[in-house]
Amino acid sequence: MTGRGRPGESAARTFEALPPAKGSRAPFAESWWGRAWLRSLEESSLDSGRLSRGRTYARGGAVGPVTVAPGSAAAPVQGSRRTPYRATVQVEQLTDRQWDRLLDMIAERAANIAALLDGEMPAGLADDAAAAGVPLLPGSRDLDPECSCPDWGYPCKHAAALCYQVARLLDRDPFVLLLLRGRDERELMDELGRRNTARASAEAAVSATTAGAHPDGSPARTSDPAGPAFASRSELPPLPAPPPLPDRAGRGPALAGSAVPEPGVDPAALELLAADTATRARHLLAGALGPRHADTAPPVPLTEWQDAVRLAAAHPTPEVFALIAANCGRTPRELAAATRAWRYGGAASLDGLESSWTPPPSRLERDREALRADWADGRPPRLRSWRNRWTVEGRDAQLRLGRDGLWYPYTKDQGTWSPAGPPDADAAVVLTALLET
């Protein structure tokens, strides 16, 4: 590790253990910098099965309080024995020269400081830092996980659990990443304050010189009339303020009964489409006004059937169900199952309801091993396997592996399999929640 003995060496923060999140489909990292941390972990791992078990441990609350210090994070992780193991992950610290460059970049724009204080890591800052040779985000070989357990895996499931938990901490506070790189929040803000003061003094001196006098009051020998023009070339006109987010979507025009409809035009259907358009427009505006808009993937085009199911899920009234079912040639029962699937996972969940596929055998075998390793007594229920489906023997319970890599739970109702809950990448998490219902 580099940079030992520098300021910030003794700084450390301890975060309380996060609550269990079994059965949750929420990712471990929602922020782009948290996902960069997980990408570094997953690219350096030699065993994806241990990563899967690490996710299960983290979701199940096995990771205790996490202590983050310059260059490392550590926590007790409860394994199979009574005494928790001690897991750590080390991160290379930045050198003094790298910190000097990074602090200059942060201080150059007040927006950088505001974003950090607001819990955001500016993407432009990370890109500029990387271009200047300052590795703010961890790369594929920057994380060094260790554990006191006898497992030789790299990382073992306990160290992997710690790394997944650190990703959740990074989501909440980007200063955790800066602390891992070597400096704590107070030290950073003090240093940025000094640099801003020095910058303001220098700008005042330049302004006084341009105005015809030196800071000491003596007249300036020359003036540069082009100076203001060059100084203003980096200034852009302010953007107009975005529109405020309305409390609720508009209702749209009332068409039914207000006029004689054109042949082939259903006024009630037009009212529904107008209301749905208003709802989607408000959703898009809320995303655009949110802090993670730049990191949001563009929407994927839907088929007519997918869009019809989405519409039914967004407006679950008897009239809408009857209208959509009649126009799609489906029974209300079929549409209800499709709508339930959509609410649990969108297009990927709907595909799992209506089709089957053959996953790679290595994926199924890996998940079977993880299921056996994570089950309480090491003996999970007997499963009948067919393509992407595992059916629990003696129970009306089934898991389906989606093309998105997630396991979806199903139960049988009156002879028909129906979606029964949210998915998860870990089959053990989904099966446990399914059998407990």
Tens-digit pLDDT profile for residues 18-72: 887 655 556 677 888 888 888 888 887 766 778 888 888 888 888 999 999 999 9
Q: What angle do CA 131, 135, 136 make, to 5 degrees?
A: 105
The answer, yes or no, to whether residue 377 has pLDDT greater than 70, is no
Tens of pLDDT, residue by residue over 132-144, are: 888 888 876 788 8
Q: How high is the pLDDT of residue 107?
A: 80
The answer, yes or no, to whether residue 231 has pLDDT greater than 60, is no
Q: Based on the number of CB atoms within 10 Å of its own CB, is 268 exposed (0-12), middle (13-18) or buried (19 or more)?
A: middle
pLDDT band at 179 (very low <50, low <70, confident <90, very high): very high
What is the rounded average pLDDT of the residues 290-300?
57
| For the ranges 90-104, 249-263, 299-313, the one whose mean pLDDT is highest | 90-104
The mean pLDDT of the chain is 78
**In the chain, % of residues over pLDDT 70:** 71
Domain ranges of the chain: 13-188, 267-280+302-354, 361-436
Strand ordering across the sheet containing 13-15: 13-15, 66-69, 72-77, 85-91, 143-147
Q: How far is CA 35 from the centre of its chain?
A: 6
pLDDT band at 350 (very low <50, low <70, confident <90, very high): very high
Q: How high is the pLDDT of residue 217?
A: 54
Give the H or E element holding residue 257.
Answer: none
pLDDT band at 3 (very low <50, low <70, confident <90, very high): very low
Q: Are 182 and 90 in contact (CB under 8 A)?
A: no
Cα–Cα distance for residue pair 79/82, rounded to 1 Å = 8
Q: How high is the pLDDT of residue 112?
A: 76
Q: What residues have CB less than 8 Å from 189, skipping those under 6 apart? A: none
Instruction: Compare 33 and 270 and report the one with higher pLDDT.
Output: 33
Instruction: Compare 234 and 18 and report the one with higher pLDDT.
Output: 18
Give the residue ranges of DSSP H helices in 138-266: 157-172, 175-180, 185-210, 227-232
The answer, yes or no, to whether residue 225 has pLDDT greater than 60, is no
The answer, yes or no, to whether residue 230 has pLDDT greater than 50, is no
Q: Residue 255: helix, strand or coil by DSSP?
A: coil
Say which residue the tokens 């949110």 belong to: 290
Instruction: Compare 15 and 326 and report the one with higher pLDDT.
Output: 15
Give the H or E element holding residue 285.
Answer: helix 267-289
Cα–Cα distance for residue pair 254/133, rounded to 1 Å = 60
Q: How high is the pLDDT of residue 227?
A: 47
Q: How high is the pLDDT of residue 389?
A: 95
Instruction: Compare 283 and 351 and report the one with higher pLDDT.
Output: 351
Q: How high is the pLDDT of residue 142?
A: 80
The answer, yes or no, to whether residue 391 has pLDDT greater than 60, is yes
Instruction: Compare 104 and 218 and report the one with higher pLDDT.
Output: 104
Instruction: Compare 345 and 217 and report the one with higher pLDDT.
Output: 345
Q: How high is the pLDDT of residue 163?
A: 92
Q: Residue 344: helix, strand or coil by DSSP?
A: helix
- Count Cβ neighbours within 10 Å for each residue of 384-414 and write b for 16 or more, e otherwise: eeeebbbbbeeeebbbbbbeeebbbbbbeee
| For the ranges 38-52, 59-73, 296-310, 360-374, the one whose mean pLDDT is highest | 59-73
Q: How high is the pLDDT of residue 1?
A: 37
Give the residue ranges of DSSP H helices in 45-83: 48-59
Q: How high is the pLDDT of residue 234?
A: 46
Q: Given its phi and psi angles, is residue 416 left (phi above 0), alpha (psi -120 to 50 degrees) or beta? A: beta
- Tokens linked to 325: 């079912």
- Tokens linked to 409: 């739970």
Q: How high is the pLDDT of residue 89?
A: 93
The answer, yes or no, to whether residue 93 has pLDDT greater than 80, is yes
What is the rounded average pLDDT of the residues 234-240?
58
The neighbour count for residue 200, using CB atoms within 10 Å, is 10
Query: What length is written for the chain?
Result: 437
Q: Are 266 and 256 in contact (CB under 8 A)?
A: no
Q: Determine if the peptide bond prior to 155 is cis (ω within 30°).
A: yes
